[in-house]
Amino acid sequence: MGGDTLECIHCGKLKNRSEFFTNFRMKEGVESKCKACAAAYQRQNRKKKWERLFEYAGSACQHCGISDVNRPEIYEFHHINPAEKEYQIAGLMRCKWERLIAEADKCIMLCANCHKTEHKRLRDEQQENG
């Protein structure tokens, strides 16, 4: 096809070359999916990975028991031993499952409220001991 317009392999629409991410390894020098389709794919992939991680982590806050797979924003992963922390879980959502799980295994899943409470408890404990 060439020129300034390309067809997205996902939606099938002809779009301007600027609507595709650059990728010099590809024949046309751009990705085969348009930016909008690539973003939709990433959102869907992240949602599926989150659902799988939520199940893997026990499907509930490990302190209070709240469980709502449709509200991922209320959950956080607390590293049991901060010295072992290499990455934040959210930063690994685009990585391979194995890498994500390797980091998640160092954590417990808590709701945001329990996570804040846990950090307050740890700070208070540290002040008492040190």
pLDDT by 10-residue block (mean), the chain, 130 residues: 82 96 92 96 92 95 95 94 93 93 97 97 89
**What percent of the chain is helix, strand and coil (3-state, nearest 5)?**
45, 20, 35
pTM of the model as a whole: 0.77
Hey, how many other C-beta atoms are within 10 angstroms of the C-beta on 104? 18
Domain ranges of the chain: 1-56, 58-130
- Fold category of 1-56 in CATH: Wheat Germ Agglutinin (Isolectin 2); domain 1 (3.30.60)
State how far the Cα of 68 lies from the Cα of 53, in Å rounded to an integer: 13
- Asked whether 54 and 72 are in contact (CB, 8 A), the reply is yes
The predicted pLDDT at position 3 comes to 67
Nearest to 9 by CA among 121, 23, 62, 55: 23
State how far the Cα of 109 lies from the Cα of 95, in Å rounded to an integer: 19
State how far the Cα of 93 lies from the Cα of 100, in Å rounded to an integer: 7
